[in-house]
């Protein structure tokens, strides 16, 4: 059996494309957190506060207060770590089972779309169950892919 892990295999090419976009989306939450920290003047450590307000201990104390909007972005980020990372990693195992290309590609596309919806709904505090729908569809895509991967080995 030749390797599935070449760009000539459209399943692998699809994972490289959609998986990379999903990882970029996840890491962009880091940049969004940094942006919200600066805009809302809320930093995690004393050395950050000292850089932003040298010689002003009162201002430093204010800077160290947690901020609601920053914490919201951090929760959205953590949710990506909990869902996007396992999905892309499972995707690499899934490719090895030589799945049907059309099915596999739609798993990747639907997962990415669901997670983009999840992040937009979370960061902007959109009315529930919008965020829940994004989360649920992503989880469903993961479970479906997981079932197929384990099933291919049984």
Residues that bind a second copy (CB under 8 A): 1-8, 12-13, 15-17, 19-21, 23-24, 26-27, 29-31, 44-48, 50-51, 72, 75, 77, 81-83, 85-86, 88-90, 92-93, 96-98, 122, 125-129, 131, 139, 142-143, 146, 149-150, 152-153
Q: How far is the CB of 116 from a second copy (least distance, A)?
A: 15
Residue 54 CA to residue 63 CA, distance in Å, equals 12
Long-range contacts of 30-34 (CB under 8 A, 24+ apart): 30/77, 32/73, 32/77, 32/123, 33/70, 33/73, 33/74, 33/77
- What is d(CA 79, CA 18) in angstroms, rounded to the nearest whole number? 18
Is the CB of residue 135 less than 8 Å from the CB of residue 79? yes
Nearer residue to a second copy within complex by CB, 58 or 153: 153
Please give the distance of CA 37 from its chain centroid, rounded to a whole number.
19
In the complex with a second copy, the residue whose CB is nearer, 31 or 62, is 31
Taking the complex as a whole, the smallest distance from the CB of residue 87 to a second copy amounts, in Å, to: 8
**C-beta of 58: minimal distance to a second copy in Å?**
19
Q: Which two tokens stand for residue 61?
A: 């104390």
Smallest CA-to-CA distance from 88 within 133, 151, 138 is with 138
- Would you say 51 or 62 has its CB closer to a second copy? 51
- For the bound state, the minimum distance from the C-beta of residue 35 to a second copy, rounded and expressed in Å, comes to 13
Instruction: Copy the structure tokens of residue 135.
Output: 């989360």
Least distance from C-beta 82 to a second copy, angstroms? Answer: 6
Q: Nearer to a second copy by C-beta: 50 or 109? A: 50
């Amino acid at each position: 059996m030749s390797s599935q892990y070449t760009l000539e295999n459209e399943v692998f090419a699809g994972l490289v494309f959609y998986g990379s976009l999903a990882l970029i989306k996840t890491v962009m939450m880091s940049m969004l957190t940094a942006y919200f920290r600066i805009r809302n003047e809320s930093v995690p450590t004393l050395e950050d506060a000292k850089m932003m307000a040298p010689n002003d201990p009162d201002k430093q104390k204010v800077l160290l207060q947690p901020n609601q909007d920053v914490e919201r972005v951090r929760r959205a980020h953590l949710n990506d770590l909990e869902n996007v990372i396992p999905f892309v990693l499972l995707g690499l195992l899934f490719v090895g089972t030589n799945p049907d290309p059309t099915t596999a590609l739609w798993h990747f596309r639907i997962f990415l779309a669901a997670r983009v919806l999840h992040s937009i709904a979370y960061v902007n505090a959109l009315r529930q169950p919008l965020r829940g729908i994004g989360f649920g569809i992503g989880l469903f895509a993961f479970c479906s892919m997981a079932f197929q991967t384990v099933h291919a080995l049984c």
